[in-house]
Structure 1
Amino acid sequence: MTDRLRIAIAAGGTAGHVNPALALAECLRDRGHAVRFFGEERRLEGRLVPEAGFDFFPVHVTGFDRQRPWTLATALAHLAHEERRLAKAFRDDADLAPDVAIGFGAYVELPLMRAAKRLHIPIALHEQNSVPGLANKQTARDAALIAIAQPSVKDVFLRAGAKEGAIRFTGNPVRRQVLAGDRARGRTAEGVPEDGILLVVFGGSLGAHHLNARMAQLKDEILADPRVHVLHSTGAEDFEATRDALALTPDEERRYHVQSYIDDMGDVLAAADLVLSRAGASSIAEIAALAVPAVLVPYPFATADHQTTNAHLLTDAGAAVMFADADIDGRPFADELLGLLASADRRAEMRAAARGLNQAEAAEQLADALEEIAR
């Protein structure tokens, strides 16, 4: 085992930031390191981090709203105050001061990153998306390590002043509860026999209305194959409308399950033979880690169309096919989806391609890199 390190992690706001950070933290804890999170108590990290059993140090920052320029002064004042407070805390308490600090891209990382820089503590960043946020771009110049999950983002960081040698492709860490997904357990839970074909449809935590509506149109063709089962997660806001549009008969309900959210994503993805989904960074990471063949429909209004770039990680490897949201009403989309459900050979080829990406090792690779710069 390596020498014990103190590692500070700042991640907050959304599950897309917090879950990869927790995946890294789980790996570091297994290696015997002491991990402490820094974030907002009132946001998602304030609940998920303590639930996972990690120490949590609260910080308070406010973001800058471009639509309200007067918020800049308050944001900068809070940032400066928290930077000074953390730097003092680290100087006063050797056990609190980290050997290395890593931020996962949210604004809440800035006090930690700046306090660490002030005390000459190595700084690392992780970027999940193909379009980095302002916090990571602001910190890039000072980072000894910038771990990326999308190769295309390297050029953005170089333009932001990052050192080329600091940028490494590690992938996007996936939590062990997802990696531990069990195919037999997932299929039993969904009532899918071993010779059945399970299509899993989801659009992220907010759902995807267009995907939901298209599934309602294609339901009869999909279920025409008696081997096919469907688990369709609609998102909470679109659940009732999608259920009504599907108008499932009692017989169809035995093979088509519709729900608002998927709680046990690990088991579900392990059980799946094909996924139809949006292309958020976390979804791409989980699909790749469990090597599930996928049809990806990037969310068309994502910043700088970054979901399309996210999807290329899988499509370029041959692990997925992609359709623009505007094209899913056409016949080619339906034919491709139905064709993949019918072809075990094509799905096997895609699954093998996904395994070649080695996404399941992302947390280990990031932990290796952190240990390296800490020493």
Structure 2
Amino acid sequence: MTDKLSVAIAAGGTAGHVNPALALAEELDARGHTVRFFGETRRLEGKLVPEAGFDFYPVNVTGFDRARPWTLATALAHLAHEERRLVRAFRADASLMPDVAVGFGAYVELPLMRAAARLGIPVVLHEQNSVPGLANKQTARSAALIAIAQPSVRAVFEKRAAASTRIELTGNPVRRSVLAGDRARGRAALGVPTDATLLLVFGGSLGAHHLNQRMVELKDRLLGMDGVYVVHSTGADDYDWTREALALTGDQARRYRVQAYIDGMGDMLAASDLVLSRSGASSVAEIAALAVPSVLVPYPLATADHQTTNARFLVDAGAAVMFADADIDGDAFADEVVGLLASPERRATMHAAAADLGQDRAAARLADAIESLKR
């Protein structure tokens, strides 16, 4: 039986960092371990972590803006101060001292990772993306374990990590609320018949407009297919434009639902037969975890084109097809989306390929790896 651990987690800034960390925390908590988060109260983690019921210890760091080099001095001063403060706090309070410290890649992880390394506490890093962030690259040499979500990132960390560092492909943890998605419940919420074919479309908070434009152009062709329903999440900024451009009639609106964002992603994915989306790390992880066939259109302005590499993870497995953003205006894109909607056989093959990736077990694999570490 594994000894119960006290695990400190640092994750912040964006949902792409915080949600995988919460997924791990849920798994560790279910196994009886104690979890405490370290982050900034004014950022997303300061809201999501307390809402999830986990202890939260505030740290105060300042990011370095490469466009303003003079901010480096302030950032380094804040980092050093917070590192010293955490070392003192851990030494003064044995209940606060963790057995393992886990960082999910944002700069907010640095004080905790450095304090842990100074005190001999095993450091674990998790990298969600196919292009490692600066914080994880800086911390790699101190890590006992680096968990990766994409095979392509292994080579980067092999060059930066210590010889003793373990690098394991665990996948990107997905929250239990998503994994618990239910097809019948999702379809009931949407008013979609059980025998219909459902296309779910979402583009994320950035870069959704081109996808939304293309969906406007494809609306009539999609609704001309028997039994096809569409749920189209536009992003908040593009909702009014898309709704007006679609100009749905009453009959069309019964089969084509347009909304600003997706509430209850697990149920929506489980209800879907095909997904059309960008390929951010969290989107790819959730699509794979629910084993939904997908058409992926990487956001073309993503740093180092990492969304294309993210998408290849599913494409290479046979679970998805990919189109460059510049190519979605062509007939090949439209024909592929329509062809997949018309072919339950192709979708079944893609579903099986996605299920074989085992992305739904990513949080468990990461928790297993953490449990294997001893202070």
TM superposition score normalised by structure 1: 0.99
1:185 aligns with 2:181: no
Counterparts of 1:162 and 1:238 in 2: how far apart (Å)? 46
Give per-residue Cα distances to partners, 1:306-363, cap 9 Å, x unaligned.
0000001100000000000000000000000000000000000000000000000000
CA distance in 2, matches of 1:374, 1:112: 18
How far apart are the structure 1 equivalents of 2:341 and 2:103? 40
Are 1:132 and 1:153, in contact at CA under 8 Å, matched by a contact in 2?
A: yes
Q: Which amino acid aligns with 1:264?
A: G
Q: Alpha carbons of 1:5 and 1:108: their partners in 2 closer, same or farther (altered >3 Å)? A: same
What residue in structure 1 maps to residue 118 of structure 2? 118
Specify the SS of the correspondent of 1:282. helix
Maintained 8 Å contact 2:141/2:165: no
Q: Is the 8 A contact 1:207 1:238 kept in 2?
A: no
Match of 1:256 in 2: 256
Q: In the alignment, is the contact (CA less than 8 A) between 2:144 and 2:164 conserved in 1?
A: no
Could you tell me which residue of structure 1 aligns to residue 56 of structure 2?
Answer: 56
For residue 133 of structure 1, what is the aligned residue in structure 2? Answer: 133
Aligned residue type for 1:111: P
Partner deviation per Cα, 1:93-125 (whole Å, 9 max, x = no partner): 111000000000000000000000110000000
Q: Say yes or no: does 1:168 pair with 2:168.
A: yes
Q: Is the 1:281–1:307 Cα contact (8 Å) retained in structure 2?
A: yes
Shift of 1:207: 5.6
Following TM superposition, by how much is the alpha carbon of 1:162 offset from its aligned partner in structure 2, in angstroms? 4.2
Q: Contact between 1:158 and 1:164, CA under 8 Å: does it hold in 2?
A: no
Q: What is the aligned partner in structure 2 of residue 310 from structure 1? A: 310
Runs in 1 of length 4+ with deviation above 3 angstroms?
161-165
Alignment of 1:271 with 2:266, yes or no, is: no
Q: Is the 8 A contact 1:7 1:100 kept in 2?
A: yes
Q: Which amino acid aligns with 1:160?
A: R
CA distances 1:183-208 after superposition (whole Å, capped 9, x unpaired)? 00001111111110000000113461
C-alpha contact 1:11 1:104 (8 A) present in aligned 2: yes
SS of 1:126 mapped into structure 2: strand
Counterpart in the other structure of 1:368: 368
Return the offset for 1:263: 1.2
Amino acid at match of 1:96: L
**Percent of pairs with identical residues:** 75
The CA RMSD over aligned residues, in Å, is 0.9
**Unaligned regions of 5+ residues in structure 1, if any?**
none
Rounded Cα–Cα distance in structure 2 between residues aligned with 1:98 and 1:236: 40
1:198–1:228 Cα contact (<8 Å) kept: yes
The 8 Å contact of residues 279 and 299 in structure 2, kept in 1 or not, is answered as yes
**Aligned partners of 1:96 and 1:164: how far apart in 2?**
27
CA contact (8 A) 1:101 1:123 kept: yes
CA distance in 1, matches of 2:66, 2:337: 41
SS in 2 for 1:373: coil
Confirm or deny: 8 A CA contact 2:125 2:136 kept in the other structure. yes
Q: CA deviation at 1:226?
A: 2.5
Preserved contact between residue 207 and residue 235 of structure 1 (Cα < 8 Å): no
Q: Write the letter of the residue equivalent to 2:359.
A: Q
Q: CA deviation at 1:7?
A: 0.2
Which 5+ residue runs of structure 2 have no aligned equivalent? Answer: none
Aligned twin of 2:222: 222
> Residue type of the partner of 2:126?
H
